[in-house]
Amino acid sequence: MGQGRKPKMAVWKFASCDGCQLSLLDCEDELLKIADRVQIAHFLEASRAVVKGPYDLSLVEGSITTPSDAVRIQEVRRASKFLVTIGACATAGGIQALRNFQDVKEFISIVYARPEYIQTLNTSTPIADHVSVDFELQGCPIDKRQLVEVISAFLHGRKPNTLSHSVCVECKLRGNVCVMVAHGTPCLGPVTHAGCGAICPSYDRGCYGCFGPKETPNTSSLSRWWGRLGVGEQDLVRVFRGVNAFAEAFRKESEAHERQNDQDQ
Amino acid sequence: MKDKTIKISNLARIEGEGALFVKIKGDAVVDVRLEIFEPPRFFEALLRGRAFGEAPDITARICGICPVAYQMSAVHAMENAFGVEVDGPLRALRRLIYCGEWIESHTLHVYLLHAPDYLGYADALRMAKDHPGIVERGLQLKKAGNEIIRLMGGREVHPINVRVGGFYKVPTKSELAPVAERLRWAREAALETVRWTATLPVPEFDQDYEFVGLRHPFEYPFNEGRLISNRGLNISVREYEDSFVEEQIPHSHALHSRFKNRGAYLVGPIARYSLNFDRLSPIAQEAARAAGLSAVCRNPFRSIVVRSVEILQACDEAIRIIDGYERPTRPAVPIRPRAGTGYGCTEAPRGILYHRYRVDDAGVIQEAKIVPPTSQNQKMIEDDLRRFVQANINLPKEKLGLQCEQTIRNYDPCISCATHFLRLHYDRE
């Protein structure tokens, strides 16, 4: 970074729950230190002071679901030197990407009495479908320690040190007994990206895939194991169709089970 | 007198995205609109066809600031559909995690979002330059709330441990002990917060609200109770839709809730407080009195003090729950799904949050309805704005604009929560 000038950081919101940007405000011990090192130039949830771009670092939360947001993300990209997407919405389309598997007109009419007032796209898509993204931080929500790591990596001009292995590895590191092997609890840990710290298995629950697919996940093999535990095709569709439903590996797996389910009926 | 238009295209320090538009002609306010341009996410539609057990995890994603509220209303509604009662220590643990969310969410609002208005700062980070001790206390108090959620729920945002019937895993007494230790500090910090917010300058702006909130026979309400108002409403949760209706209004671009027969009403801290002052713990009542509040608060600019009293209440309640805790023998009550409709309403930090689900005999959701607090308050926010601008019409435009923002922030509106708010037509200047 240039000497004497604090890098300018911006936080942008698209379709989302605000939880990932809240993770920044949840850094109770680090927040004031971060604010000493970067100029928070655009962060509407926290400040009414807005500094004009360009921005050195943009954190983008949320997915693209409306025509105007599809335009706005282009503006954000142009104003940003380094663009990081934070969370499942921004990296995979989020829970609202469930619409991608159905007729959005029907969705609108279920929620709104006057559908004609609604302006929305047929799909919820990740930021990388629209603009180039410099780094993607997965998770629903992101892990705040990883967020601090991404910001400090940026400040030091290095690559963020976020692990790419599965939740299983984190689970072993925590010394957990495997919930799937020992208790017969279906778990997405083997195919899910690390980062949460294996929270669900630590609470006697199977992983439900908040952090999205890890690199090269073997989802079909895991599905067969789930089948042996008595999980049916329709449930497997739901399992892979969660907050990361539109991430490619999970999408393909849920579609495979949907086809299987249709054939079975 | 000149005509003026106040237009704030991007409201800051609220959750989600909104804009404000006020039009003044001569000495009269002719138009007030709180505009919402948060894209719709269609939760009620995407819940159809999902398993009942998924409802707490999916609806948590409506809001990153109050996910526990969504999880609580969802599990209560499902248990209502299946005829299950969760009581004893499991019920107490639900109150405990809700205390954590109230502390975290209210403290975020009081210190980081709302207080800068009273002291003239753009944000809490700038406020911290002049008042480092105050902001640091706020952050540590917020952290105390988050620590409850982290232990009870696994993480602060979208906790994973809440399920229909109870929890996946319940803590031991010794796991809770350090949290209680920190809460004893937090209770003192909350008391300081009440004293400090009571010193903030507040405009005279008493309003004649109809307050709506839950009322429990002997507790300050979190999870259960009857829905009451100060004008005679007294219904069970399942009768909610008999009394209230949601409307889609083109000019306001959102579903507004109102009484079927009499218009706007107010939910949230000052409504809850004014309906339930007698249910506050002695320490909270005493602090409220010392801060100059009476048993009813009608000035929305004093909501910051009321929120602080509720932080104190939540700290005190959490300590009481932990001190009396005996670990239950099982983490959840067994659930056997059956076809039916279930109703749930709990007190989210911003006010009552209503869920209704119709499920089939396998427990698959056929229909879902969710009414978040912010869509219930939206009509009242606009009413407040209209009256506030009218009463202060001679203020310079910039100052009036700032005070309009503060009027909106009095409500701690959560636009992300409003699952079915519309995309609005608005021009970004």
* Per-residue pLDDT tens digits for A75-126: 999 999 999 999 999 999 999 999 999 877 777 777 666 666 666 788 999 9
What residues of B are in contact with residue A16 (Cβ under 8 Å)? 64, 416
Nearest to A19 among B10, B112, B158 (CB): B158
pLDDT at residue B425 above 70? no
Indicate the range of B59-73, B173-187, B254-268 predicted with least confidence.
Answer: B254-268
Q: What is the mean pLDDT of residues A242-254?
A: 97
**CATH assignment of A8-155?**
3.40.50.700
Contact status, residue A71 vs residue A40, Cβ threshold 8 Å: no
Per-domain residue ranges for chain A? Answer: 8-155, 167-264
Indicate the range of A195-199, A207-211, B44-48, B163-167 predicted with least confidence.
Answer: B44-48
pLDDT at residue A201 above 60? yes
Contact B61 A111 (CB under 8 A): no
Contact B41 A200 (CB under 8 A): no
Report pLDDT for B89.
Answer: 98
Q: In angstroms, what separates the C-alpha of A36 from chain B's closest C-alpha?
A: 9
Report pLDDT for B15.
Answer: 75
Please report, for residues B17, B104, B136, B252, the alpha-carbon distance to residue B113 in angstroms, rounded to integers and kept in the order given: 14, 13, 14, 24
ipTM for this model: 0.95
Closest chain A residue to B137, measured at CA: A28
Q: How many of the other CB atoms lie within 10 Å of CB of B207?
A: 14
Nearest to A204 among B40, B143, B168 (CB): B168
Report pLDDT for B429.
Answer: 28
Q: What is the mean pLDDT of residues B19-42?
A: 84
What residues of A are in contact with residue B255 (Cβ under 8 Å)? 112
Alpha-carbon dihedral angle through residues A53, A54, A57, A60, given to the nearest 10 degrees: 60
Task: Please state the φ and ψ torsions of residue B30, each to the nearest 5 degrees.
Answer: -105, -20
Chain B stretch 50-109, residues whose beta carbon is closer than 8 A to a beta carbon of chain A: 50-51, 54, 57-58, 61-65, 67, 108
Closest chain A residue to B402, measured at CA: A48
Contact status, residue B328 vs residue B350, Cβ threshold 8 Å: no
pLDDT at residue B236 above 80? yes
Report pLDDT for B421.
Answer: 36
Give the residue from B274, B295, B346 showing the smallest Cα distance to B102: B346
Closest chain A residue to B369, measured at CA: A111
Mean pLDDT of chain B: 92
Beta pairing, strands A135-137 & A80-86: parallel
Contact B157 A22 (CB under 8 A): yes
Confidence of residue B195 (pLDDT cuts 50, 70, 90): very high
Give the residue from A247, A166, A235 showing the smallest Cα distance to A207: A166
Residue B330: helix, strand or coil by DSSP? coil
- DSSP string of B92-106? HHHHHHHHHHHHHHH
Contact A46 B146 (CB under 8 A): no
pLDDT at residue B251 above 90? no
Report pLDDT for B424.
Answer: 29
Residues B94-145 have pLDDT tens digits of: 999 999 999 999 999 999 999 999 999 999 999 999 999 999 999 999 999 9
What residues of B are in contact with residue A111 (Cβ under 8 Å)? 40, 42-45, 419-420
Chain B stretch 346-385, residues whose beta carbon is closer than 8 A to a beta carbon of chain A: none
- Chain center to CA of A255: 20
What residues of B are in contact with residue A236 (Cβ under 8 Å)? none
Q: In angstroms, what separates the C-alpha of B289 from chain A's closest C-alpha?
A: 31
pLDDT at residue B263 above 90? no
Nearest to B423 among A66, A200, A205 (CB): A66
Q: What is the mean pLDDT of residues B365-384?
A: 92
CA gap A44, B13 in Å, rounded: 6
Contact A202 B154 (CB under 8 A): yes
Indicate the range of A168-182, B23-37, B172-186 predicted with least confidence.
Answer: B23-37
Closest chain B residue to A140, measured at CA: B158
Q: Which domains does chain B have, with CATH numbers?
A: 4-39+396-428 (no CATH), 43-377 (1.10.645.10)
